[in-house]
Amino acid sequence: MTLIFGQRRTGARSPAVRALAAGSVGNFVEWYEFGVYGYFATVIAARFFTPDGGNAAEALVRTYASFGLAFFFRPVGAALFGRLGDRIGRRPVLILVIALMTTATTLIGVLPTYATAGALAPWLLTFLRIVQGLSAGGEFGGAVAVMTEFAPPGRRGLYGSWQSFTVALGLLGGAGVAALLATVLSEGQLGAWGWRVPFLLTLPMGLVALWLRLRLDETPAFRREAAARRPSRRAVAGAIALGAGRVMGWAAAGYTFLVVLPGYLQSTLGASFREALVATVLANLGFAATIVPAGALSDRYGRRPVMLTGALGVVVLSLPLLNLLQDSGTSTAAKGAAVCAAGAVVGLMAGPGPAMLAELFPTSVRHTGLGLAYALSNAVFSGCAGLVITEAVRRTGNVDIPAYYAAAACAVSATALAVPTARRANGGRLPSTDVEGARVEEGGR
């Protein structure tokens, strides 16, 4: 990390490294869990949502409905914990949300299934998903605020990209654990108890994250300017809407290619569980590979140009890449390259995205504002991705639905990214991401 950020871990700069570690590890735990739930969607459907003789496709839809419900509680969590973070500080809120997330995820690993608890089982699972959604809503805004507010001048895009990079690591970690279990356990063992292991592993990871956050300092920007005059509600609402529009493509395409893909490959294209997981690992490797470089490029050339390249890339490439996966004559190497490329294009949006959102809001409303923008776009376009795609394919028989879904959302994002950020004055100017890298207005830092 020292070489990546071009600084030594001494003196005043060490708090920035600690902030990066504390923010990153929480994101890893959060997205590891969300990835695990998506990867084991078919197993969870059979254990929690399918009574004897139930329809497997309908059970998968119910599983994704539970998945999506957690996302709809993210904006609630973003508003609740964001308000606390803007008033009492980033540090205490980040400690609280990681404790909630770790507890809820660990409890999923010990839940009774439908066979044991009957109709109570899916309700208990859904309740814990709601707790996860609330805590995840507060996690993003606080983590990005900490990373970007500690970032050295001209490095905000690079530091903020670590939020997205640890998302990729979390998804890869979840996929890796799932793939390992699918390899060493029989199908019967995996369904009986093996699926619980990834959720239980969250406990030690969450404790490490909690320890790091207890050692975290409050950000200098919050200590200095939290009491500053707040911008008008209209200005903040406009920035939230713009931010949500700019990241909706990232949200939709990310979940389509990185999380929903295993269920789609199994239920629609007849792939095995192991084949689906390998494809997901490759997609997430491509995603991880481009995130940090994209964040660094955005410090040099601006957030919007890099993100716009990614959004347009998804619009153009989604259908051809999906058609490669559908073609039985396509070689395994070509299919692997296709899913890797899909993840890489999404990474171009995910790298600069956190810094872009942070720069839309002054310090006094940053935790709330960027958290809500991200949570709203994810609630609609990530949380619903599995449900919409699975149900649409089931009803229409059109196997190209995932490509249309991702491309349509990215087309809207490209339009929002093409619109220059409006500068507003009311209790401090909302900063702009329209200028290049190091010259981006600090906006309340």
Cβ neighbours of 31 (radius 10 Å): 25
pLDDT confidence tier of residue 112, bands split at 50, 70 and 90: very high
Query: 345 near 310, Cβ under 8 Å?
Result: yes
Q: For position 427, what pLDDT does the model report? A: 38
- 228 contact partners, CB below 8 Å, separation of at least 6: 362, 363, 364, 427, 428, 444
The CA distance from 444 to 430, in Å, is 8
Q: Which tokens go with 127?
A: 């309740």
Q: Tokens 């690993």 map to which residue?
A: 109
How many CB atoms are located within 10 Å of the residue 187 CB?
A: 12
Q: Is residue 322 within 8 Å of 403, Cβ to Cβ? A: yes
Q: How confident is the model at residue 143 (pLDDT cuts 50, 70, 90)?
A: very high
Residue 139 has pLDDT above 50, yes or no: yes
Q: What is the pLDDT of residues 198-230, one digit of tens each?
A: 999 999 999 999 999 998 888 888 888 766 667
- Topology (CATH level 3) of domain 17-218+234-426: Growth Hormone; Chain: A; (1.20.1250)
Element (H, E) at 88: helix 74-88
Break the chain into its structural domains and give their ranges.
17-218+234-426
Q: Convert the pLDDT of each residue in 279-336 to its tens digit.
A: 888 888 999 999 999 999 999 999 999 999 999 999 999 999 999 888 888 888 888 8
Band the pLDDT of 438: cuts 50, 70, 90: very low
The pLDDT of residue 224 is 81
